[in-house]
Amino acid sequence: MKKLLLIPFMLLTVLSMAACTGGENKSFFPEQPETPEQPDEGDDNNPDTPTPGGNRRYLVLYASRTSNTERVAQQIQVTLDCDLLEVEPQTPYDNDYNAMLERSQEELATIRQGNYPPVKTTMDNFDKYDIIFVGYPIWYGSMATPMQTFLHEHTSKLAGKQIALFATSGSSGISSSASEARNLCPDANFVNQTLLLTSSTLPQMETRVTEWLDKIGIEKKEPETPEVSSLDVNIIVGNRTITATMEDNAAAQDFLSRLPLEVTLNDYNNITEKIFYPNPTLTTEGVTRGCTPAPGDITIYAPWGNVAIFCKNWSHSNDLIKIGRINGNGIEALNIAGDIPAKFERK
């Protein structure tokens, strides 16, 4: 039986070699993996939800039996920080290599009759994706059957979508399977350049993927620069503007979130402090307490909830929370007896 199976297989191999592109003219014969890999069962609870990336414009769909295509898919996913979904057969492939070959041939034959072997992966829609990367291993010159089924079952949903094909193989080319993909999704728009990694080019996967993405003009994910909101504020007192730098703690952030803020600064303790009462009081939860105030320090006196800007040195208090400091000698503008109208605004 096995010998009989090998004859059409070898014929197919020869045929697939004829379809090789890119000068990959080594003869191919699938080798039995030393350790047959267990099929990845995936997340049984929610098999059809892509693993989300930061960039939700791209989806990488892939089928893979021995992880080669999976590695390429993951490389694309990491490079673009995009969504990833494995297309899995309804029944996992046998670990017995010959049984697997037999089944794959049978499946390819049934596909030629128009019957597609079931897969357990489905997608509701692809609406949010600009480009869908579709990756698969080459089986006997063809697209591996699970991906053929998936494309067949999602033909209408993929209509009008951009599809970029990638594949791995021992040595065969991708062109026959690319034609299959076009036939399976006649209304999709296929990116002209495909990516094929063979057993000899797979070790250069990282470079090849980057080059390919560049070539097809995919916008890579920019490293996320967290929005740094400035800690700098202006304090307008009369016709003078002084500046202060707030601390990076929750109380200071709460204060910053309320700007612009107009207040009246009152004297406290013979102009040791100029104070005002924010309403509501500023959050102090989780903020380190304790401060030995120096002129220019902006603090909260936690028991009363007032903001105290120190004009003079004062002794340490565990109830004071520092939320900022007036820059330079700007405190001089506040070191005046009486009520002072002041406006705090972001710089």
Ligand X SMILES: Cc1cc2nc3c(=O)[nH]c(=O)nc-3n(C[C@H](O)[C@H](O)[C@H](O)COP(=O)(O)O)c2cc1C
Q: Which stretch binds ligand X (CB under 6 A): 68-76, 125-133, 297-305, 325-333?
A: 68-76
* 77 near ligand X (CB under 6 A): no
Q: Judged by CB under 6 A, does residue 176 bind ligand X?
A: no
**How many whole angstroms separate alpha carbon 249 and alpha carbon 121?**
47
Applying CB under 6 A, the span of 75-83, 115-123, 162-170, 332-340 interacting with ligand X comes to 162-170
Tell me whether residue 92 or residue 328 sits nearer to ligand X (CB atom): 92
Q: Closest by alpha carbon to 245, among 106, 344, 113?
A: 344
| 171 is a site residue for ligand X (CB under 6 A) | yes
Compute, in degrees rounded to 10, the torsion defined by CA atoms 11, 17, 18, 24: -170
Alpha-carbon distances of 175 from 1, 143, 165, 194, rounded to whole Å: 31, 10, 10, 9
Task: Dump the DSSP string for 137-160.
Answer: EEETTEE-HHHHHHHHHTTTTTTT
Q: Is 133 in the site for ligand X (CB under 6 A)?
A: no
* Minimum CB distance to ligand X smaller for 86 or for 297: 86
Distance (Å, rounded) from C-alpha 75 to C-alpha 72? 5
Among 53, 69, 178, 276, binds ligand X (CB under 6 A): 69
- State the minimum distance, in angstroms, from the CB of residue 178 to ligand X: 14
Beta bridge partners of 139: 142
139: left (phi over 0), alpha (psi -120 to 50) or beta: beta
Q: Per CB under 6 A, which region of 116-124, 167-175, 270-278, 290-298 contacts ligand X?
A: 167-175
The residue (of 75 and 171) whose beta carbon lies closer to ligand X is 171
Among 55, 67, 155, 175, binds ligand X (CB under 6 A): 67
Number of residues that bind ligand X (CB under 6 A): 23
Tell the smallest beta-carbon distance from residue 66 to ligand X (Å): 3
Residue 98 main-chain phi, psi, to 5 deg: -65, -40
Q: Is 104 in the site for ligand X (CB under 6 A)?
A: yes
Interface with ligand X, residue 89, by CB under 6 A: no
Beta carbon nearer to ligand X, 136 or 276: 136
> For residues 326 and 296, is the Cβ–Cβ distance under 8 A?
yes
Among 31, 43, 58, residue whose Cα is nearest residue 129: 58
Cα gap 208→202, rounded to integer Å: 9
Q: Which of 59, 61, 64, 252 binds ligand X (CB under 6 A)?
A: 64
Cβ nearer to ligand X, comparing 171 with 306: 171
Member of 82, 101, 196, 342 binding ligand X (CB under 6 A): 101
Per CB under 6 A, contacts with ligand X among 29-58 are: 30
Query: Whole-number minimum distance, CB 194 to ligand X, in Å?
Result: 14
Greatest CA separation for the chain: 104
**166 touching ligand X, by CB under 6 A:** no
Q: Is 149 in the site for ligand X (CB under 6 A)?
A: no
Tell me which DSSP letter residue 234 carries.
Answer: E
Of the candidates 85, 147, 156, 157, the residue with the CA atom closest to the CA atom of residue 119:
147
Site residues (CB under 6 A) for ligand X?
Answer: 13, 16, 28, 30, 64-70, 101, 104, 137-141, 168-172
